[in-house]
Amino acid sequence: MSVTEYYCNDITRATEKLKEHIASIEKENEKLKKGLVGEVLPVEKLPWADFWGVYQSEEAVFRWLEKNFKTPNDARIAFESTYKDSFPVIERNKAAIANNVLIFENLVKAIQSLGLKTHYKKYKGNTLKYNEIEHEWHKQIRQVIPRQEPLTLDSLEKQYKLAINSVVKWENKIEAAQKKIEYDRQQEEKKLRADRLTGILAQKYGVDLSSDGREVLDEILNKDKYLRLAYYLEKNRGNWNDGPYYAKRGLEGFVPESEIDREIYDEIYDLANDWNGDGRCFRDCQWNYSAIYEIAKTERPELYADFKALMDSGAVSDY
């Protein structure tokens, strides 16, 4: 091979490399052009963003809900509707962000191709230490091209659940308030009925009309020894903090007048003096308060009926 041929081959090879390099530059330019085609798209605000109140404390949530909605159902409908309306916006934002990211990246590359850098070094005093500082042009481009979602799908899901939970709590709060109002109304009616019954029985049994339920009860109990004993035995079953005190008090007015009376008296007397620390003995013995009540009910049905009515009315706070 001659020298001329050798140099010609070198020139050919160099020319091919140059063409490849030019083609590479043109290809890169095409990419930049494609990335810069079109406009920066806006990233929309989600409809859900208007519901800022659901992210506050529980007390603040209630205030916000009550201020903005008439009923929990109104809030629930608004939340569900806005939640659904947010999905199309999220999808549009994804497309807009993908477009904007491409424009941003290629715009930066185009400017960098002119020799401009995105950052510069700022040295600390006379040392070799430095910080990377962003150039103003890069910062401004980054700020004006929106590339982030205002609210991710995961965040939307969490906030929606929080909003619905707040509605449920609001519903529970309203229900509890309504129940209290109804309870108070029922208690007031019950008290009025109890007061009315107390007055009727006070007049019937010759007790002063200003007497309370306890005073009327004492008068009724004093009219029948069985009723009185059964009442105090049942009371001792419910409260034995003072031992068999109530059982002994019931026996004080019980004078035996028959063999059955003697059996009753002896059994209760023995239990009152040896009760083993358990007031349930007056429930479980042969002549327990239920059995003695039956005697009173049989012998004095009207008196027993008045006693039951007075006790059931709540006029007497017994324990």
Q: Is the pLDDT of residue 175 over 90?
A: yes
Q: How far is residue 6's CA from residue 87's CA, in Å, rounded to a whole number?
A: 68
> Mapping DSSP to helix (H, G, I), strand (E, B) and coil, where does residue 74 land?
helix
Q: Within a domain: residue 244?
A: yes
Summarised one tens digit per residue, pLDDT across range 272-307 is 999 888 889 999 999 999 999 999 999 999 999 999
Q: Is the pLDDT higher at 13 or at 100?
A: 100
Summarize the confidence of residues 58-81 as an average pLDDT.
Answer: 88
Residues 67, 132 share a domain = yes
Structural domain including 79 reads 3-169
First to last CA, the chain: 127
pLDDT at 17: 64
Summarize the confidence of residues 173-181 as an average pLDDT.
Answer: 95
Q: Within a domain: residue 193?
A: no
Residues 209, 162 share a domain = no
Domain boundary among 169, 192, 226: 169
Q: How confident is the prediction for the chain on average, in pLDDT?
A: 86
Residues 165, 16 share a domain = yes
Q: Within a domain: residue 197?
A: no
pTM for the predicted model, two decimal places: 0.60
Q: Within a domain: residue 186?
A: no
Residues 30, 113 share a domain = yes
Q: Is the pLDDT of residue 226 over 60?
A: yes
Number of domains in the chain: 2
Is there a contact between 271 and 281 (Cβ–Cβ < 8 Å)? yes
Residues 212, 104 share a domain = no
Nearest to 311 by CA among 184, 192, 214, 243: 214
